[in-house]
Structure 1
Amino acid sequence: MFAEPVRGRVLLGATQRERWNALGNEHERRRFARSRAAVQDVVAEFLETSGLDLGATVIGSGAPHADLVLDARCPTCGGPHGPLTLAGTERTSRRSSRSLRSPRSAAPSVSLSASEEAIVVAVSDDARLGVDVDVLFSARRGVGSDDVAQRVRHVASVLGIDAGAERDVLQRWTRVEAVLKADGRGLRVDPREVSFMDDDHDHDDHDYDDHNHDYDDHNHGGAVPVTGLSRWRAIVRDDVDTVYHGSDLAVGPDRVGAVARFA
């Protein structure tokens, strides 16, 4: 599950270079580089592989790809913290003043999440999607039981739910984050505006399980399946006609994750 050090160059667009330069220490820069190299690696593999509808990957080592330059620009303020894109193929929010390219355009939709040492990348050529991963508070260094309880209560209050078990609260948080990334507006939307329902009826052909892969430091970059957990649907209350289909991801005993898609 833990990524090996990235070797070689990481190709960053202007906004990503801004973020790199703003990072305070070498450790943060290495983590940033690892996550962006992971995106380049996954997208390159995705583009080389025919017949895949969705890719979601927990990443190990990455390699640079000369034609895949990463960028991000906030559609609201223009800052370097917007949705991740491949330079020259930007996909804007469906609620921004600019039009969004068709989900079936040549430019894939890319989503990245990193927490502690966990890195998850999702890519699709026929859907807008979002992915999120979080490390349990109780598994983080230097976090005591009182801190865990306080953080769980805080996250629950942001979500507008009762503070229950840590894993349940953080799983809900990753679902919300995944939906709002797929929505395109991120946390500019109040997380309490996201509503969920079970998705136990018939599914379409997009099988999250088959296209999720796990890279760890034991298989040195080899991919093994990552099991999908419960599936669900969600809406954002100011757009009830748009239904997001999602799946919780099995990303290790101390982590929770989710991926959401809208086609």
Structure 2
Amino acid sequence: MSPAGRSVCGMTGLPLLATDDVQLRWARPEVLDSSRHRMLRLLTLAERLRYEATGRRETRDSFLLGRVLVRELAAETLGIDPLEIMVDARCDRCGGPHGRPVLGGEHPALERMRISIAHCDGAVVAALATGRDLGIDAARTRTVRDRVASGEATAEQILHELRAQAVAKADGRGSTSEEPVRFRTREGATEAWIEGSERYFAVSEPIVHSALVVTLAVAQD
């Protein structure tokens, strides 16, 4: 699935890539250099505490950028101010602020929106869909090439890793999933499921930028 449709720019000045059912945006953390203070205003108290508790600046900025991007996507879709949107990531198991991110706010449509964020070396990718769970994962193209060149992994193995992580995110298990992800291709389309589960996900590699390899999993239920 490759991006098509409208392309607009939000607070980060970056284009929105729209497919038929999923909206994507990616950015490098450097976009925060001139707007970090303004972007920090969007965070909830829990997000701000997590941001400040993160030691490495690169990791902090990656976290902040992901939260900004999903707010942009939702705000532009609904025509509202990003300040009206909250992102909650409470862990279902321990209550910590590192769980699956969920949108919140007074606008009734926010309840049906689903988001996913992928962080990789020097880039962040965010995705949004309405009414369907989704997961996204990403890697820098140069990182993939380096791993293949060093013999660490084949391109097929790396793609499998990215797809499996995207599916685990879409299912809500994230990196905690211990069950293997299964894949099959039918009529040119890739379908995936977690072993023991009856949920199926459409898997694709949207063309976001030549510097990135992005994998997207969208629930079919």
Shared fold per TM-score greater than 0.5: yes
- What does residue 122 of structure 2 align with? 117
Structure 1 regions of 5+ residues with no counterpart? 50-63, 90-103, 153-164, 202-230
- What does residue 243 of structure 1 align with? 200
- What does residue 165 of structure 2 align with? 177
Aligned-partner Cα distance in 2 for 1:88–1:21: 23
Residue 32 of structure 1 deviates from its aligned partner by 2.3
- What does residue 232 of structure 1 align with? 190
Q: Are 1:195 and 2:200 matched, yes or no?
A: no
Aligned-partner Cα distance in 1 for 2:203–2:119: 19
> How does 1:97-176 map onto structure 2 within 5 Å?
106-136=111-141, 138=143, 148-150=150-152, 152=153, 165=154, 167-176=155-164
For the Cα contact (< 8 Å) 1:46–1:123, is it kept in 2? no
1:12 to 29, 43, 47: 43
For the Cα contact (< 8 Å) 2:137–2:215, is it kept in 1? yes
CA gap of 1:196–1:139, structure 2 versus 1, over 3 A, is closer
Kindly provide the CA deviation profile for residues 49-77 of structure 1, in whole angstroms up to 9, marking residues without a partner as x.
9xxxxxxxxxxxxxx71101222111111
Aligned-partner Cα distance in 2 for 1:137–1:19: 30
Aligned length: 187
> How does 1:214-229 map onto structure 2 within 5 Å?
none
CA gap of 1:66–1:145, structure 2 versus 1, over 3 A, is closer
- TM-score, L = length of structure 2: 0.72
Q: Per the alignment, in what secondary structure is the counterpart of residue 84 of structure 2?
A: coil
1:80 to 97, 111, 116: 97
- What does residue 86 of structure 2 align with? 69
Aligned-partner Cα distance in 1 for 2:110–2:86: 18
- What does residue 12 of structure 2 align with? none
Aligned-partner Cα distance in 2 for 1:39–1:65: 9
Q: Relative to total residues, which structure has the larger helix share, 1 or 2? A: 2
Q: Per the alignment, in what secondary structure is the counterpart of residue 16 of structure 1?
A: helix
Larger relative CO (CA 8 A, sep 6+): 1 or 2?
1
Q: Per the alignment, in what secondary structure is the counterpart of residue 9 of structure 1?
A: helix
Aligned-partner Cα distance in 2 for 1:250–1:145: 20
Q: Per the alignment, in what secondary structure is the counterpart of residue 35 of structure 1?
A: helix
CA gap of 1:2–1:84, structure 2 versus 1, over 3 A, is closer
Aligned-partner Cα distance in 2 for 1:77–1:42: 29
CA gap of 1:197–1:106, structure 2 versus 1, over 3 A, is same
For the Cα contact (< 8 Å) 2:84–2:105, is it kept in 1? no
Aligned-partner Cα distance in 1 for 2:208–2:105: 32
Runs (4+) off by over 6 Å = 143-146
Kindly provide the CA deviation profile for residues 88-142 of structure 1, in whole angstroms up to 9, marking residues without a partner as x.
69xxxxxxxxxxxxxx9843111111212222111111201111111246469xx
Aligned-partner Cα distance in 2 for 1:251–1:105: 25
**For structure 1, which segment, 174-183 or 248-257, has the greater mean C-alpha deviation from structure 2 after superposition?**
248-257
For the Cα contact (< 8 Å) 1:15–1:72, is it kept in 2? no
- TM-score, L = length of structure 1: 0.61
